[in-house]
Amino acid sequence: MKKILIIHGPNLHLLGEREQDIYGKTTLAEINKKLSSVAKPAGVALEFFQSNHEGEMVDVITASKKNGFAAIVMNPAAYTHTSVAIRDAVMAVKTPTIEVHLSNIYAREEFRHKSLIAPVCHGQITGFGVNSYILGLEAAIRLIKK
């Protein structure tokens, strides 16, 4: 069974509580449950990881191939706009990666308009709330089943 790594970046453990007008009312646990319900019938196993720490995210990304992950779906959150380290990790492992965001980062503050991660990913899905994750997972499943 192919495995996909789901990475949730900083502050995403607060989903459902923080800035509901931007991120919605769905909790991180609910997002993970919805993703699992998509993965199971597709015959894909998921592993979930959330961290507020850039280095931990880099460690998980760089170990992804060794740990048998066929793809990554990642919401780097605020690190999207600042982390050369996460970008370099994604580029180094060459594990197909899909970047996702709940909100439309291009409709928000100007500093959020630039993703350092997207150019080294297979694609980016932004602005569809929880569906961004689901669309990202569906894209990753299609990539690994080619």
> Which residues does the annotation mark as catalytic?
23, 101
Q: List b or e across 80-112, with b for residues whose CB sees 16 or more CB atoms inside 10 angstroms.
A: bbebeebbebbeebebbbbbbbbbebeeeeeeb
Measured distance CA(125)–CA(105) in Å, rounded: 10
Measured distance CA(5)–CA(19) in Å, rounded: 26
Tokens for 103, please give them: 């909100």
**With contact defined as beta carbons under 8 Å apart, do 54 and 85 qualify?**
yes
